A = this chain, B = another copy of it.
Amino acid sequence: MAKIHELDDLDRQILSILMTDAKMAYTDIAKQLQVSGGTVHVRMKKLEEVGIVKGARLEVDEAKLGYDIISFIGIFLEKSSLYEDVIRQINQIPEVVNAYYTTGNYSIFTKIICKDTDDLRKLLSEKIQAISGIQRTETLIALEERIDRPISLDVKNTQDR
């Protein structure tokens, strides 16, 4: 479930560009990388086929939509065997945007985006704490998002012009 396919430098360059701007036209990328538009198309098709490219998401300013609170909630389970069940229930909560199975302090670690502190309070007391199998939670509130970017692929030749 994590097979590494052979990618050449062109693949990585195309990915690098689209990872920060998925809407850029293939013809523009082609110009930038000095290849034909057809080539970019073929590469992307291959990358989609092997599952490296899973799709594209619009980046929105959540705060401008009224979602002001980003928080991380660490969840301790009563028994680790409850993991699947708890994840299933957490999945029902729309405000949860990420959930990870983790080592260390917590069993499950989640990222949550909600409208205000009242929303968060209700979410914790009425939704999260209500899930059976959860022992206790720890909440971390983010005041400011300072870095948000994709991973940077290292590309050998950046001698494009």
Contacts and interface: CB of A to CB of B under 8 A. Distances in A.
Give how many copies assemble into the complex.
2
Interface in A44-96: 50-68, 70, 72, 74, 87, 90-91, 94-96
B56 A61 contact: no
A27 to B, nearest CB: 15
Interface residues of A, number: 69
A63 B1 contact: yes
B101 A150 contact: no
A141 B4 CA distance: 21
Contacts of A19: 57-58, 60
A55 B94 CA distance: 22
A70 to B, nearest CB: 7
A153 interface: yes
Contact of A109 (B87, B140, B152): B140
Contact of A56 (B51, B53, B57, B153): B57
